[in-house]
Amino acid sequence: MKYNLAVFFSLVFVFLSCKNDDQKRLAENKKETQKREAIFTNIQKGWVFYDTPVTEASENNMATWNEWRMFLAELAQKPKKNIGAFQQKSKSLSKKVMALNDNIPLEFNKPQIRTRISTLITKVQLLDLFLHLDNIPDKKVTNLVSEINLELVSLQRQMDKIVEKSKIPIEEGESELMKMMDASRAIPTTPVIDPNLPRVE
């Protein structure tokens, strides 16, 4: 009889503790869902890219530079469903921004443009990394979006500067002066050998 009572109470205890664990698990799941929804809402509000060209040079490049046009088109499409959609979009953006390095138009294939593209690539890849973390830092993601926008504007303004510089006519004799200033064309200087130094023969 004592044995039956002990078994009965232990079964009741196990049943109540299991029920309590289920309630805790449900509460934790609800809290996690609310947290994910808050992160999704914050990212959705902050996901605003400058997807239209801000300078004339950038706009003209859309016709000739296919990778640039595809990258801006990818920026224009905003994900809407869930965090997974943002993760897929960031992965796609990362691929498109890497392609910018491949076929830079000849007039823009300069260190100033390449540097800005490299910085843009770094920021987009960092965005992709943050969105694929288990605990997504939504504030860092929204800050990165604004930093990417700044890099986009900087790149486009640099394109505009290059176009404006190319429109300036070269003055008479300027090309010869540039050739003379080119260090690669300079006559190499031979080192002066001191005749008093001992020589090994």
pLDDT on residue 14: 56
- Residues 85 and 24: their CA atoms lie apart, in Å, by 30
- Residues 157 and 113: their CA atoms lie apart, in Å, by 10
In a domain, 25, yes or no: yes
In a domain, 36, yes or no: yes
**25 pLDDT more than 70:** yes
pTM of the prediction? 0.69
Residues 8-36 have a mean pLDDT of: 67
pLDDT on residue 22: 64
Find, among 66, 74, 55, 72, the residue nearest to 156 by Cα. 55
Range of the domain at 70: 2-166
Residues 142-151 have a mean pLDDT of: 88
Find, among 77, 87, 187, 88, the residue nearest to 141 by Cα. 87
In a domain, 191, yes or no: no
**15 pLDDT more than 70:** no
In a domain, 185, yes or no: no
pLDDT on residue 157: 87
Q: Give the CATH number, domain containing residue 6.
A: 1.20.120
Instruction: Give, rounded to a whole angstrom, the gap between the first and last alpha carbons of the chain.
Output: 113
The tokens for 98 are 């890497």
Percent of the chain past pLDDT 90, that is, above it, reads 0
Residues 43-59 have a mean pLDDT of: 78
Least confident of 4-18, 33-47, 69-83, 175-189: 4-18
- Residues 124 and 23: their CA atoms lie apart, in Å, by 41
In a domain, 182, yes or no: no
Average pLDDT, the chain: 78
The tokens for 11 are 């079964």
Residues 64-88 have a mean pLDDT of: 84
Find, among 83, 93, 1, the residue nearest to 38 by Cα. 83
CB 100 within 8 A of CB 71: yes
CB 47 within 8 A of CB 145: yes
In a domain, 183, yes or no: no
CB 85 within 8 A of CB 44: no
In a domain, 86, yes or no: yes
In a domain, 188, yes or no: no
Q: How many domains does the chain have?
A: 1
CB 149 within 8 A of CB 49: yes
